[in-house]
Structure 1
Amino acid sequence: MTAADPQPDKSALRDAATVIVLRRDLPAGPSVLMGMRGAGAAFMPSKYVFPGGALDAADAAVPLARPLPAREAARLALDAPEGIAPALAVAAIRELWEETGLILGTEAAWQGPVPEDWQGFAASGHCPSAAGLRFVFRAITPPGRPRRFDARFFLVDVGEIASDPDDFSRACDELSHLHWVPLTEARALALPFITEVVLTEVQALLTYPRSETASIPFFDNRGPRATFARLG
């Protein structure tokens, strides 16, 4: 960017992906992976969140060893830019890798040049796999916030993770206190409102599994008034 280039509007709405990794083999019962954002973060400072972040332009060019299930891809495409579903899946896998060091992938040789963000991932002998991702929630940040995202929340079982689920040694420093939080204890943490809502949805899915024809909850804050809709 040159001095003459316009500065990006950091409050502009950006597509994003968030990953809820579910683990059911712990003594405390079903748990999800969470970490705390830094106190100086512009978006949700000092709050516990799931791994996730904004879609990068390069995500659309990253190959998936195993694609999203057709049903998930179709639902992600609803009321969204054409062709965005695979890129959102890649963003979810990339953010999980960057923020936790966990590998959601399958053993395979990388096809073509490896992007800089994926060097460590590829060096592990894996390529990203979206086959285990389940689209469960969508939410748009309300106007007036310093950062705004059109976030898609994916649920994935820890069994899909190809690395040690307790090894966060390769994580960046964006999230601290990474740990598995029992669903029964999660609300004792400092959570953003939308994270509480999504946790409620996850608990409901575990108690009353949703049929394949059920729709996806969507908090839509694009207009002057927040609306709750369902996709699919």
Structure 2
Amino acid sequence: MAGMSRAEVDHVEGRDAALGAGPSRPRDAATLILLDRSKGQVRVLMGRRHMRHAFMPGKFVFPGGRTDPTDGRIKVADALHPLEEEKLARPRISRTRARAIAMSAIRETYEEAGLLIGKMGDFKTSKPDWQGFVQNGVCPTLTPLRFIARAITPPGRVRRYDTRFLAAFRDDVAVELPEGGPTDELEEIMWLSVAEALSADIPGITRTVLVDLEQRLENDPDLSPGGPVPFYYLRGSRFQRDLL
């Protein structure tokens, strides 16, 4: 999508999100690209959004959603790798806010897919959204997360998000709930090869990030900390791609 004009982006994303007057300031959000290497090829976890949603209805997406600032105060087994935390905090956000963004990706993956990333052990919190971790004895961990991309929804959308795309491997999942997560945000949750995911009905920015991730995995299959992070946003009349 980099280099597209605003009109071209509106045309592509007009099928993904409701156009119209919306908030001038995008809300923080996070999504998690969970990778499975167990069958000789990389597969990604995706699910289809319900058609009732105003934002990307019917599209295949990664688990994710809006950041809750209180997520930054949840106890963790291990913190973010310093190189990842430093990039998430760019250009001018606090480390606490960066941590909340990362934690929201873990929470949303539990809520939407029933996958709990963490370590088995004692975990207590009164926060309702984290009771699945309490009940299953999983303490969330941030160390496995890798910052893959950032994208800000262009103006002129009913909903706008400043989304951080994070990645982790299926090996980092401590518990997989057979009944899935407690919400119905996603349906038809499945593991797809990258090629299958790129052929699915996915949003334009998801396609762009997947291509970036595929190229990064070719050069760095273990996703070493501190790797390059593409940042997509609209500047003037053009969609830009910078590196963080």
What pairs up with 1:35-74 in 2 under 5 angstroms? 35-74=47-86
Q: Structure 1's 224 and 178: CA in aligned 2 closer, same or farther, altered over 3 A?
A: same
Q: Distance in 1 between matches of 2:29 and 2:102?
A: 10
Q: Distance in 2 between matches of 1:154 and 1:65?
A: 18
Equivalent residues, number: 220
* Stretch deviating more after TM superposition (199-208 or 128-137): 199-208
Aligned to 2:98: 85
Q: Which runs of 5+ in 1 are unaligned?
A: 1-8
Q: Which runs of 5+ in 2 are unaligned?
A: 1-21
Deviations 1:103-141 (A, max 9, x none): 001122225x42011112211001111110000111101
What is the CA-CA distance between 1:12 and the residue it aligns to?
A: 3.9
1:127 partner letter = C
Q: Which one of the candidate residues 87, 96, 121 is aligned to 1:75?
A: 87
What pairs up with 1:155-166 in 2 under 5 angstroms? 155-164=167-176
Contact 1:51 1:95 in 2 (8 A): yes
What pairs up with 1:139-218 in 2 under 5 angstroms? 139-164=151-176, 167-209=178-220, 214-218=227-231
Q: Identical aligned pairs, as a percentage? A: 40
What secondary structure is seen at the aligned counterpart in 1 of 2:175? Answer: coil
Q: Distance in 1 between matches of 2:191 and 2:218?
A: 20
Aligned to 1:5: none
Aligned to 2:26: 13
2:205 partner letter = I
Q: Structure 1's 116 and 222: CA in aligned 2 closer, same or farther, altered over 3 A?
A: farther
Contact 1:11 1:145 in 2 (8 A): no
From the two aligned structures, give the one with the greater helix fraction.
2
Aligned to 2:120: 107
Contact 2:232 2:242 in 1 (8 A): yes
Kindly report the root-mean-square deviation, in angstroms, between the aligned alpha carbons of the 2 structures.
Answer: 2.0
Aligned to 1:228: 241
Contact 1:109 1:126 in 2 (8 A): yes
Post-superposition, which runs of at least 4 consecutive aligned residues in structure 1 deviate over 6 A? Answer: none
The TM-score with structure 1 as length reference comes to 0.88
Contact 2:84 2:225 in 1 (8 A): no
What is the CA-CA distance between 1:215 and the residue it aligns to?
A: 2.7
1:120 partner letter = G
